[in-house]
Amino acid sequence: MIALPGLNLTSAPAEPLNLPAAAATRIQDLAANTEYRFEVSFGRALTIRLLSGTAEFFGTELGPSATYTFQGTKGSVFTWHGCKLEIGGQAESEYVAEETQMMSYVNAHFAVESLRGRSAATGEAGPGVLVVGPNSSGKTALVRILMSYAVKSGRQPMAVNLDPKEGMLSVPGSFSAVAFSSIVDIEDGWGSSPISGPSPIPVKMPLVYHYGLANPEEGKIFKPLVTRMALAVTSRLEEDHASRQAGFIIDSSGLIAQGKSGVYDNIEHIISEFSVNILFVLGSERLYSDLTRKYSNRPGEEPVSVIRLDKSGGCVDRSEEYMKQLRQAQIRSYFFGHGTDAALAPSSQMADFDDLNIFKISEGQENDSFRPGNDGDDGYGASNGIYEKETPSSLIQNSLLAITTAAANDRPDVIRDSSVRGYIYVADVDEVKKKVKLLSPQPGHTPPNALVFGSFPEDVPALVS
């Protein structure tokens, strides 16, 4: 194993940036209770500056003297009081919407907030919120708004991401949980996990697990991981008084909202494992009525309030192409940082095949079929069929490996349930010399821990030029 720092590694942007010229700005007036919606592609940048009034981006207020730069973003700037914005650069599309769902979202916040007040007074656990809805119904936007308002109200809420499609403070394919005591970032998704130097935005401290598949219907990892995260979050909340009062808000995948003939196994699993007591259903009438039926009239059980919220008109279907670019941008930003001024320096490493303990997530039905029943020794079945030991080959080139906290000789369910320390990227595999070139966020040795490799996120070609 040789560490080769300082090889002038640079991130290769997908397209050259077209930063707006300073002069090419325009003024956008917004009346109270309206929002400016925009889409900007990954190769371009849009700048927004607040000239007067007040404005929010998913609940986080724009600083009056800051200029925000957006790339690869579909977002909106909303104002409660009216404002004047200075906009620079080119948006793929932009318009002002007079009808928004912000009133109902802020009501949702204050409804949750009143439970936090109660928790502060009584010491009982704060609100446990789960947001569900079909794809592109604005779940993540709602979670961000609720988180931002909670932080603004002086709370320290916990955000939990169970949607593998987009990472929260980590790469896609991961699940994470984090308490927010400082503002949610505006330009860079949820902000940044810790780096080794000062960060212009307060870093967040997430707990990260690797899921490694695109589809949460794959029961053999999803449910055990949910159980595990619920255990960790519950343990934390038992002693972390500030976060306990504020409670948690869970973002979920649109796929678990599809259900099977009115049964939403994964949703029910999340609700029971996390003891969710508020369920916000975005958009879908059917999902709402199914879940209302399920969670009303359960005498003797903890009540779950099921509340439907309308989907915002700003929610647009995001093309698979866009999602793929978004994932790649998230992965790039994990290694290289976000934006031009937060350049991180990952390091390149060479490792022998024998140094790497790679476990590939088994997919397909055959693993389940030769299990004698669904009650394996860990309660979820398929415990032994979770992983296959993988010898490095060109198959893993350009993919991400999750560095778990498990040892290579741990049981598969221990590997599955362990949180991750980070990710390394397989830049090159030399099958002849049996060497692998890796990109690691940090200089140092290649970890002997169990490394997990799944089908999601997909390969990221040319992360290193």
Residues 336-375 contacting another protein, CB under 8 A:
337, 341-347
139 in a labelled binding site: yes
Told to check if 313 binds another protein by CB under 8 A, we report no
Q: Which residue number, 390 or 413, has a Cβ lying nearer to another protein? A: 413
Q: Looking at residue 389, what DSSP letter applies? A: E
User: Is residue 137 involved in binding another protein (CB under 8 A)?
Assistant: no
Decide: is 10 part of the binding site for another protein (CB under 8 A). no
Rg, Å, the chain Cα set:
22
Check whether 360 is labelled as a binding-site residue: no
Residue type, 250: I
Which strands form 2-4's sheet, in the order they lie side by side? Answer: 2-4, 347-352, 435-440, 420-430, 400-404, 450-453, 357-361, 387-390
Per CB under 8 A, which of residues 160..199 are in contact with another protein? 170, 177, 179-183, 186, 193-199
- Picking from 9, 5, 73, the residue whose alpha carbon sits closest to that of residue 36 is 73
Residue 45 in contact with residue 18, Cβ under 8 Å? yes
3-state SS, 276-288, equals CCEEEEECCHHHH
CA distances from 246 to 50, 76, 122, 149, 393 (A): 30, 26, 13, 11, 47
Among 36, 149, 175, 456, interactor with another protein by CB under 8 A: 149
* 140 annotated ligand-binding residue: yes
60 binds another protein (CB under 8 A): yes
Q: Give the Cα separation of 123 and 239 in Å (integer).
A: 11
Binding residues with another protein: total (CB under 8 A): 116
296 lies in the site for another protein, by CB under 8 A? no
Q: Is 81 in the site for another protein (CB under 8 A)?
A: yes
The Cα–Cα gap between 20 and 70 comes to: 11
Could you report how far apart the first and last alpha carbons of the chain are, in Å? 22
**Residues between 204 and 223 that touch another protein (CB under 8 A):** 204-208
How many Å apart are CA 19 and CA 12, to the nearest integer?
A: 17
* Binds another protein (CB under 8 A): choice among 10, 18, 93, 235: 235
What DSSP designation does 239 have?
H
The answer to whether the annotation marks 390 as part of a ligand binding site is no
Q: State which of residues 18, 92, 95, 123 lies at the interface with another protein (CB under 8 A).
A: 123
The answer to whether 111 contacts another protein (rule: CB under 8 A) is yes
Binding another protein by CB under 8 A: which of 14, 17, 125, 203? 203
- Interface with another protein, residue 34, by CB under 8 A: yes
Which 407-436 residues touch another protein, going by CB under 8 A?
A: 407, 410, 414, 418-422
Between 194 and 262, whose beta carbon lies closer to another protein?
A: 194
**Binding site listing for ATP:** 35, 74, 136-141
